[in-house]
A and B are shown apart, each in its own frame.
Chain A
């Protein structure tokens, strides 16, 4: 199978997955026990109010018309409007996205800055104290919920360093320093478990690479050990680490939502939790779809990236 066909096939598959997710969300929301309109308006709503909300949600239409509309709107990028604020779901999510993305990106950066060196040291100094410290801390990292790390950071760093605000968020448009000082603690809380996972993966992947024949050959050729390690070793060791980046995104998102609550950040997590409290279905269903689209296409991207940096991978064929 050619590269183009493979890319096309995988893209179609990804679109197919998103289509099924959208259908499942449609079915799920319509299987709400009782009347969604009553859920929205509360117990003692007037019949004409209920009818108005039903019409607004399109619930007065036959089910196949609802489904068709749902998919047609989705294809145009229209996720509906918030029941509560009237703002479009797309705009609501976009407005809440900046703090969440900031925490996520800074968190991943912190994780990588810690984990890759820690993993390399751990593998090259195997069974020495450096290795024990690195693997021990990594184990601890993957065993802590992010939001709890956030609380601990808040109580320690947050109170000890007055320059670091422990609450809220400052947009990057207000300047990099206020932005980073607000983001750093939540990002660390999200990034540390992530760092634990990447350290462990880098370590085991590096250990495997170190025992490969081409490493022996490179050393035997008389290349400096550092060059062998970084050029031949690291390049190959990091590939499997890259592939899981997409999978870890899901883990990261769960962490960010909870960490936003700890630090009072008005991001995507806050939006989600508030939407549940308000029974704001369009936001909840829109979020599920947006996140799965990001998730599916990020993995597709990682997959194709992996394929392009590793020519040994065959496209097509097996799983």
Chain B
């Protein structure tokens, strides 16, 4: 990192004293602690699903197929095919969390690149790129997803693409706004004067200084992406129907709601706890980084 921040150390361009503030914000706030702990637990359950899951998520028990039930052998019950719901939820977490992370990452990379370039160069480049972003924004994400599925069929990458597509404009606008406020700072002008190229200035001087609000945005959108993925899977236009995801489990439970309510309730609870955890953590991040935004605590 070539930028000199005085005596503060940096980590990916964020000053370390900000991380200390972040630590204080999380440790001192039970909501943020709850958020971090639950999300960590769910992520661990997803990563170690093959080791932790009590059953094979695809294994069907014909004896209980007709009467899906809660029992000590299956604490969260079984689905209509006699498959253990807890195991399916653990494997489902991999898809649900993985898809969300992938989608928001792609949205962030594309959106931030557009926004930084637009804000840095200004003029017609800015105009052209932001008009493009306006067009992206005008596509309702759900219909983009539906079109992708209608055209290319179901699949993980189509779902990731559809969700990522919806978030490009959020990241582009945010990054552009940050860059506009940083562009005229002295250290950027200094970097220009010593002959650093545009790409170098953008990646080494401008971007690191815009990273805090982007991290907050990233966190908030992960939460929204989990909801979006679950909606698509619930509608049967998400990842392939045979793959367990939280939304798909919910969707399959719908037809059995009279006999086996837990199939519809349990995956929903997992979604709510995870999304709530991420939102709470995101709120703590927002406070720690002192970022203003939607619903941020002033």
Contacts and interface: CB of A to CB of B under 8 A. Distances in A.
Nearest to B264: A151
B184 interface: no
A147 B141 contact: no
A235 to B, nearest CB: 19
B100 interface: no
A292 B151 contact: no
Interface string A276-306: 1001010011011001100110000000000
Contacts of A276: 146, 149-150, 237
Nearest to B280: A139
Given A25-B147, A140-B272, A151-B265, A253 B234 contact: no
29 contacts: A25-B147, A139-B276, A140-B272, A143-B223, A143-B227, A145-B227, A145-B230, A148-B264, A148-B271, A148-B272, A151-B254, A152-B268, A155-B257, A197-B294, A197-B295, A200-B294, A200-B295, A201-B294, A208-B298, A253-B140, A253-B142, A254-B142, A258-B231, A258-B235, A262-B254, A276-B150, A281-B150, A287-B143, A288-B139
A151 B250 contact: yes
Contacts of A133: none
Given A32-B151, A151-B268, A288-B139, A142 B279 contact: yes
A319 interface: yes
Nearest to B271: A145
B49 interface: no
A273 interface: yes
A204 interface: yes
B151 A147 contact: no
A255 B130 CA distance: 28
B5 interface: no
Interface of B: 130-131, 134-135, 138-144, 146-147, 149-152, 223, 227-228, 230-231, 234-237, 247, 250, 254, 257, 261, 264-265, 268, 271-272, 275-276, 279-280, 283, 294-298
Which of B138, B139, B264 has most chain A Cβ within 10 Å? B138
Contact of B231 (A254, A281, A291): A254
A273 B223 CA distance: 25
Contacts of B231: 145-147, 254-255, 257-258
A120 to B, nearest CB: 15
Chain A at the B interface: SS class: helix
B279 A284 contact: no
Contacts of A296: 138
A69 to B, nearest CB: 20
Contact of B134 (A17, A144, A272): A17
A134 interface: no
Given A17-B135, A142-B279, A288 B235 contact: no
Assign chain A's interface to a size class. 35 or more
Contact of B234 (A17, A261, A272, A295): A261
Chain B at the A interface: SS class: helix
Interface of A: 13, 16-18, 20-21, 24-25, 28-29, 31-33, 139-140, 142-148, 151-152, 154-155, 197, 200-201, 203-204, 207-208, 244, 250, 253-255, 257-258, 261-262, 272-273, 275-276, 279, 281, 284-285, 287-288, 291-292, 295-296, 319
Contacts of B254: 151, 261-262
A18 B135 CA distance: 8
Given A148-B271, A262-B254, 11 more contacts: A13-B131, A21-B139, A146-B231, A148-B230, A148-B272, A151-B265, A155-B264, A207-B298, A276-B150, A281-B150, A296-B138
Contact of B150 (A144, A244, A284): A284
A31 B150 CA distance: 12
Closest 10 CB pairs of A and B: A200-B295, A148-B268, A143-B276, A143-B275, A254-B142, A288-B143, A20-B135, A291-B140, A151-B264, A17-B138
